Amino acid sequence: MPETLAIGVDIGGTGTKGGLVSPDGTIHERHEVPTDPQAGTKSIIQVVDGLLERAGNRPVAAIGVGAAGFIDHAHGSVTFSPNLVYDDPNIADALTARTGLASVVDNDANVAAWGEHAFGSARDARHLVLVTLGTGVGSGIIVDGHLVRGATGSAAEFGHTVVDPFGPPCPCGLRGCLEQFTSGTAIARNAKAAVEADRSSTILSFAGSVPAITAEHVAHAAREMDEVARTVLAKAGRMLGIGLSNLANLFDPEVIVLAGSVVAAGEPYLGVARDTFNQMMMAQRRRAYRLDVTKLGHDAGILGAAALALYDLEER
Ligand SMILES: [Zn+2]
């Protein structure tokens, strides 16, 4: 009997990508389209259509989708999406109506956490937290093998836990959210201010101008031992370490997995986070925690969405 496949779709701000995935986490086919910012559901359907065509006569059992924002997992719909317009917010219903296949939708960080749980750094762990460090900061939390979604699908917003009540304002309405210190956006903002004060930094030569500075430029300069860059990343790392200690106090996970583009900044950022975290855990006489970096990388969304679709199908 041929193995049962699932389609996993990861919709992002610029691209919607999907894969035809087997239960062992092999991606057999891929398809990607540019995301239509005014019609997110249409982009998802395009990817699913393309993958079903490529599947040929191989059996596909279910479809999983990971999307940013607040997701009502029970109904497979988007309740709040900050950056994308969905022509049809009831994504799961739209997919099932078109394909006849069971469909699930979840928050992108939840899906990525599920991917790490199924195939990645946190395989075998029943208690884990995934933290995504990118333009913003997100998280997916798994407790005793179950995703924590909350009453309205807005749980696990680790990026909007406050670490400094007098910190910078956050678009969410609060001040001093963790995201305002640890995201790529925050690192770029802090680096711009630091370079204005000290224009000898090599960050400036990599970026060309102050407004053009990104977190990648800061990471690059830090690898070249630029002091300004290392100070900016160390500040971000300290705040991340403080945030991680809050996670340990709340969830006592077996492992915390770090993912997202900013992870590439490496030791000048993550090393400081790990040291701060370890010191705080020791001060509380807690055990040492496992802190890993994602093994799935850019495929975490596709793999997690497909694995979640197969899991939900079994649970039904
Ligand atoms: Zn916030």
Whole-number Å distance, alpha carbon 239 to ligand 1 midpoint, is 14
Whole-number Å distance, alpha carbon 182 to ligand 1 midpoint, is 12
For 106, the 3-state DSSP assignment is: strand
- pLDDT, one tens digit per residue, over 52-67 is 999 999 999 999 999 9
Q: Which pLDDT value is given to residue 149?
A: 94
Whole-number Å distance, alpha carbon 100 to ligand 1 midpoint, is 39
Whole-number Å distance, alpha carbon 150 to ligand 1 midpoint, is 18
Cα 129 to Cα 251: distance, rounded to the nearest angstrom: 8
Q: CA torsion angle for 223, 226, 231, 232 (degrees, to 10)?
A: -70
pLDDT at residue 84 is higher than 80: yes
pLDDT at residue 224 is higher than 90: yes
Whole-number Å distance, alpha carbon 269 to ligand 1 midpoint, is 21
Q: Which pLDDT value is given to residue 214?
A: 97
Kindly state the average pLDDT of the residues 132-156: 94
Q: Which pLDDT value is given to residue 152?
A: 84
Whole-number Å distance, alpha carbon 157 to ligand 1 midpoint, is 9
Whole-number Å distance, alpha carbon 158 to ligand 1 midpoint, is 9
Cα 254 to Cα 262: distance, rounded to the nearest angstrom: 23
Nearest to 261 by CA among 202, 189, 160, 187: 187
Whole-number Å distance, alpha carbon 62 to ligand 1 midpoint, is 34
Whole-number Å distance, alpha carbon 166 to ligand 1 midpoint, is 13
Q: Which pLDDT value is given to residue 113?
A: 96
Cα 236 to Cα 131: distance, rounded to the nearest angstrom: 14
Q: What is the average pLDDT score of the chain?
A: 95
Whole-number Å distance, alpha carbon 207 to ligand 1 midpoint, is 27
Whole-number Å distance, alpha carbon 186 to ligand 1 midpoint, is 12
Whole-number Å distance, alpha carbon 164 to ligand 1 midpoint, is 11
CA 71, distance to chain mean position in Å, is: 14
Cα 231 to Cα 221: distance, rounded to the nearest angstrom: 11
Whole-number Å distance, alpha carbon 171 to ligand 1 midpoint, is 6
pLDDT at residue 1 is higher than 60: no
pLDDT at residue 291 is higher than 90: yes
Whole-number Å distance, alpha carbon 136 to ligand 1 midpoint, is 9
Whole-number Å distance, alpha carbon 175 to ligand 1 midpoint, is 7
* Inter-residue contact 96 to 284 (CB < 8 Å): no
Q: Which pLDDT value is given to residue 121?
A: 83
For 185, the 3-state DSSP assignment is: helix
| Helix-strand-coil split of the chain, %, nearest 5 | 45, 20, 35
Number of H helices, E strands in the chain: 10, 12
Kindly state the average pLDDT of the residues 110-130: 94
Kindly state the average pLDDT of the residues 61-85: 92
* Inter-residue contact 268 to 233 (CB < 8 Å): yes
Amino acid present at 276: T
Q: Which residues sit opposite 9 in a β-bridge? A: 18, 65
Whole-number Å distance, alpha carbon 20 to ligand 1 midpoint, is 35
* Inter-residue contact 239 to 277 (CB < 8 Å): no
Q: What is the pTM of this model?
A: 0.93
Whole-number Å distance, alpha carbon 181 to ligand 1 midpoint, is 11
Q: Which pLDDT value is given to residue 210?
A: 98
- pLDDT, one tens digit per residue, over 230-258 is 999 999 999 999 999 999 999 999 999 99
Q: Strand pairing of 60-67 and 5-11? A: parallel
* Inter-residue contact 48 to 41 (CB < 8 Å): no
- pLDDT, one tens digit per residue, over 150-170 is 988 889 999 999 999 999 999
Q: How confident is the model at residue 122 (pLDDT cuts 50, 70, 90)?
A: confident
Whole-number Å distance, alpha carbon 172 to ligand 1 midpoint, is 4
Q: Which pLDDT value is given to residue 80?
A: 86
pLDDT at residue 2 is higher than 80: no
Whole-number Å distance, alpha carbon 119 to ligand 1 midpoint, is 30
Cα 154 to Cα 116: distance, rounded to the nearest angstrom: 20
Scan for tokens 């400081």, then name that residue.
Answer: 272
* Inter-residue contact 168 to 161 (CB < 8 Å): no
Whole-number Å distance, alpha carbon 163 to ligand 1 midpoint, is 10
Phi, psi at 45, each rounded to 5°: -65, -40
Quote the tokens at residue 220: 């690059």
